[in-house]
Structure 1
Amino acid sequence: MAKKIRFFFRRTNLNRYTITYLTALLDEYLPDFFELKIVDGFGELYKELSLNSEFISVVGYSLGVWEFKKHLEEISQLKRSFKDKVIIISGGPQASGLPEEILDRGADLVFIGEAEESLLSFLKDFYHSLELPSERIIKPQPLQDFNSYPPFAYKRGIFSPIELRRGCENKCFFCQTPYLFPQIRERDLDYVKKYANLLKEQGKKDLFFLLPDGLSYKQKNKGVNITYLEKFLKELSEEGFNLCWGYFPSEVFPTRVVNTPQVAKVLKKYVQNKKISLGCQTGSPRILELINRDHTLEDVRKAVKVLREEGFQVIVDIILGFPQEELSDRWQTLNFIKDLAQNYQAKFNLHYFIRLPQTPFFKLKPTPIEEEIKDEIYSLMKKGIAFGNFFKQLKTAFGNNKNEA
C-alpha cells in the first residue's frame, strides 16, 4: 500500500510496564505493519507528529489514575492541533472505567479491559482499510492462550516484570483489579523459563513478577500451592536467576501466610529480596469489614510475626480516608501501626484513598483527614516507620485547599 502507519506509544514512569508489554505484542504479531516508536515526553511526541510524512500517525495512551488529568489535556491538545491527521487510541484502567470522558476529550477510540486481541484486530483492519470502526468503544475479544503473549519487548532490549497472574479473587471494594479482570489468568513455568533465558542472553539475571497476590499463584482452594511454588522458585534459582517475590510490584495476603506459615521458609530459601509487602489497608476492624477484606487484624499480626521470624522486613500497606471512616478508626490504625513497628520492626507504606472507576467505592467520597492525624503521620515518617505517597495522594484528592484536606 502507498502509506504505512507510524505508531507512537506515550510512555511515562507510571505506565512503562504496560507500554513495554503492548510494544512486545505488536512486535510479535504485527512486525511489518508499523514504524513503531516509544516516546517519553509530550514535547517529543508533538515534534514527531509535526514532521511532514507520508505515514499515517496513530498515538496510543495507557491511562491510569495518577496521570489521567494530564493525559486528557495532552489528548485534547493533540486533537486540536492535528485533527484527523492523527488517530488517538487509549486503553488502561481509567479508559476502561471512563470511556465516554476520554472520547469527549478527543480520543478516537477507547479499548475496554483486556485489549490484546481487540487491539491487534483493530490495527490489522485499519492497516488494510485506513478506516475507523463505527463503534468507538472497543470491547474485549477472547484471548488466546495467556502464554502466547510475550511479557516484554526483548527484541528492543526493553524489559519489565513478567506478569504471572492477572485478576484477583479478593474483591476488595476499593481495588480495581477484580472488576477490571474478572477472569483469573496464569502463565506457566515453561513460559517463564523461555523469556528468562532471553533475559540471560542480554546479561540480566534478576527476575521480577507481576501478580496481585504473590501467594495466590497456582493456588488450591484459595490456599498456597506450596508444592508448585517451591518447584517454580527452585528451578529458576538453580538456573542462576535472582528472584524477587512477594515484594513490589506484588504483595502477599495475610491469611495465606497464617494458614501456610512454612511458605516463609520457602521464600527465604530461594528469593533475593529481604522485604515482603503485606496487604492490610487498615487497623480498624470495622473498616476491614466495610471494605470487604477477608482477614482480621490478628491475621495481619500473625503474618508479620511469621515473616519476621524468617528475617524478612515486612512492609505493610495501609490506606487512610476510606468512605465512612471516622476519626476513631484512624486512631485505631495509627495505634496498630505503632504496635507492629515496636514488636516486629514493621514498616508501613501509607496511601490516601483514591476513588477508582468500576469499583463499588467509586461514587463514594473519601474522608478528610484531621490535622492531628496528619501530624501523627508526619511523625511516623520522620521516624522512618512510615513512608509513601500519602500526602501527594491527599493533595490529588482534594486539590490545594488545606481546609478540605
Structure 2
Amino acid sequence: MNDLVLVLRYRKAVTYGFHVLLGALGEHETATRYEVRFGESVEETAQYIREAGDTRVLVLWSFYSPDAAALAEELRAIRLLADGPNVTHLAGGVHATAEPVQTLDAGWDMAAIGEGESTLLSLVDAKGDPAGITGLAYRDAAGDLIRTGKARQRPLDDFPGFALKWDKFNALEITRGCVYACRFCQTPFMFSARFRHRSVENVRWHVDQMRARGLRDIRFITPTALSYGTQDESPDLAAVEELLATCKEGIGPDGRVFFGSFPSEIRPEHITRESLRLVKKYCSNNNIIVGAQSGSDRVLEAAKRGHGVEEVKRAVRVGVEEGFRINVDMIFGMPGEDRADVDASLGLARELAGLGARIHAHTFMPLPGTPWRDAPAGDVDPETIRAVDRLSQQGALYGHWQRQREHAQRLAAAAEAYPRPGKSRTLLPLKPAND
C-alpha cells in the first residue's frame, strides 16, 4: 500500500517543470512508498484523487502568472469533484514564488517558493507533511501564515533535466538564472541574477540517454543561449563550441541540434559572424530568435536591457547575411512609453521586416516578482493596433499580443488587490523624452 499519491495537474504548457521535478524524484532514494499519476484534465485529476481513497494525496500544480486566474477556477472545480482532509494542493512555479499569499488566498493549500526539486524530495520523504521543510508558504491550523523561505539552490548537475523513470523528455535546461535582470522578466528574480550552467559532461549524459531511446532532436532551455559557460556579459564561444560539438557527436549523424531557436533566444549584442558560424557548423536550425523588446533606446535603458537599438539592427543584418531567418521579440505597451517611443518601435519593426526578419509581438504584462510588477497593464492604442495588424497581414509579424492585453489587465488588477508595502505604482524610471 502507498504512503503517498502524487497527482500532477499535467498540462502541455508546463510539462517541462514537471519533468524536471520527476527527474529529481526518479533518482531519489526514499523510504516513502508512492505512485505518480498524470491528470491531463480536471475530470481525470479528480478521478485520481478519488481512487487514492484515504491515502495521503499531494496534488502538484505549476503555472505562469497569466494562467493563475484560470487555474484557480480549475482548482475549485476539482475540489467539488474530489476533496478530503487527506488531499493537499501544492502550487509551484514563478507565480507561486512571486505571489505566495495571493496563491494561498486563491485556494491552494501550499505554495512552493523558488526551485522545487529539493522541496519536493523533502515532502515525499515526509509523506506530504510540510513541517520543517524549506521552500514553502502555507497557513497553519490557526490560519497564521507560515513562510519557510526559498529552497536551497543546488547545481544543475545534481538533478536530471528530464524524467527517465517515466519516459518523459523535453528540451534540456543548460542555464538557470540570468545576470541581466531585465525589469519585465521573472527569470532572474526567481532563480537569482547569476548564471548556473549544466556542465558539458552532464549535457552529454543526457544526449546519450536520448539517443539510446531513439530520440534525435536536441533543444535547449536557457534565458540567453550564447551566455552558456560564462558568468558575466561576455560570451565564451569556446565553451559554446564545446557544448555544441559534444551534442552533435552524441546525437549521431541522424540527429539534430537546435541552438538559439525556440525555446531559447540570443541577445542581439552577442550575434556576430563568428557566433552564427558556430551555430551553422553544428546545428540544424536555420532560424534565430533575437530579443529586441523595443525600438526606443529610452525604453531599453529603463528596462535595463543592456543593449540599444543599433545592436538589434546590426544583429538582424548579420544574421540575414549569414543565411538565417531572424525572429525578433518586441513588447508593445512598455511602462512609461510615449507616442515617440511607440513610433520608434513601429519604425524598427518595419525596418527589420524590410531586411527579412519576422516580428514576434508581445504586449507588456506586469508580471509578479519583477521590478515592474506594479506598473500599469500594457496599453496598446488603436493606431498602434492598426499598424501592428498591417504588419501581421503582410506576414511580417506574429504572436499572441492581443490575448496578452487581456492577461495584462488581470495581472494589474491582482497587483492592486495585493499591493506591496511601500511600493508605488508610479515608479517608472524613464527620463523625459527631450533629455
Aligned-partner SS, 1:350: strand
Moved more, 70-79 or 376-385: 70-79
2:105 corresponds to 1:104:
yes
Alpha-carbon offset, residue 367 of structure 1? 3.9
Aligned-partner SS, 2:331: strand
Structure 1 pair 290/221, CA: closer, same or farther in 2 (3 Å)? closer
Give the distance between the partners of 2:231 and 2:376, measured in 1 at CA. 37
| 1:113 paired residue number | 114
Alpha-carbon offset, residue 332 of structure 1? 1.3
Seq. identity, %: 28
Give the distance between the partners of 1:221 and 1:262, measured in 2 at CA. 19
Give the aligned length.
Answer: 393
| 2:205 paired residue number | 194
Give the letter aligned to residue 338 of structure 1: R
2:16 corresponds to 1:17:
yes
For residues 367-386 of structure 1, the aligned pairs below 5 Å read: 367-386=378-397
Give the distance between the partners of 1:357 and 1:185, measured in 2 at CA. 23
Alpha-carbon offset, residue 105 of structure 1? 2.5
Alpha-carbon offset, residue 167 of structure 1? 0.5
For residues 114-193 of structure 1, the aligned pairs below 5 Å read: 114-126=115-127, 136-182=146-192, 183-193=194-204
Does the CA-based 8 Å contact 1:4-1:54 persist in structure 2? no
Alpha-carbon offset, residue 377 of structure 1? 1.0
Q: CA offsets per residue over residues 356-379 of structure 1, 9 Å max, x none?
A: 111110001024222121111111
| 2:45 paired residue number | 45
Give the distance between the partners of 2:52 and 2:306, measured in 1 at CA. 57
Residue 205 of structure 1 is aligned with which of 212, 216, 240? 216
Does the CA-based 8 Å contact 2:39-2:48 persist in structure 1? no
Alpha-carbon offset, residue 97 of structure 1? 0.8
Does the CA-based 8 Å contact 1:354-1:397 persist in structure 2? yes
Alpha-carbon offset, residue 131 of structure 1? 6.8
2:270 corresponds to 1:256:
yes
Aligned-partner SS, 1:8: strand
Q: CA offsets per residue over residues 184-206 of structure 1, 9 Å max, x none?
A: 21101111111111111111121
Structure 1 pair 278/124, CA: closer, same or farther in 2 (3 Å)? same
Q: CA offsets per residue over residues 233-259 of structure 1, 9 Å max, x none?
A: 1222133141110011100111122xx
Does the CA-based 8 Å contact 1:58-1:88 persist in structure 2? yes
Give the distance between the partners of 1:372 and 1:142, measured in 2 at CA. 48
Give the distance between the partners of 2:18 and 2:191, measured in 1 at CA. 18
Moved more, 101-110 or 248-257: 101-110
Give the distance between the partners of 2:397 and 2:74, measured in 1 at CA. 34
Structure 1 pair 263/178, CA: closer, same or farther in 2 (3 Å)? same
Structure 1 pair 118/349, CA: closer, same or farther in 2 (3 Å)? same
| 1:245 paired residue number | 259
Residue 306 of structure 1 is aligned with which of 309, 318, 325? 318
Does the CA-based 8 Å contact 2:269-2:315 persist in structure 1? yes
Structure 1 pair 175/220, CA: closer, same or farther in 2 (3 Å)? closer
| 1:75 paired residue number | 75
Alpha-carbon offset, residue 221 of structure 1? 4.4
Aligned-partner SS, 1:262: helix
Give the distance between the partners of 1:376 and 1:115, measured in 2 at CA. 42
Give the letter aligned to residue 169 of structure 1: V
Structure 1 pair 273/17, CA: closer, same or farther in 2 (3 Å)? same
Structure 1 pair 244/138, CA: closer, same or farther in 2 (3 Å)? farther
Give the distance between the partners of 1:82 and 1:338, measured in 2 at CA. 54
Give the distance between the partners of 2:324 and 2:339, measured in 1 at CA. 32
2:287 corresponds to 1:288:
no
Moved over 4 A (4+): 130-136
Aligned-partner SS, 1:66: helix
Give the letter aligned to residue 145 of structure 1: P
Structure 1-normalised TM-score?
Answer: 0.92
Structure 1 pair 118/254, CA: closer, same or farther in 2 (3 Å)? same
| 1:235 paired residue number | 246
| 1:272 paired residue number | 284
Aligned-partner SS, 2:260: coil
Give the distance between the partners of 1:131 and 1:178, measured in 2 at CA. 27
Does the CA-based 8 Å contact 1:8-1:57 persist in structure 2? yes
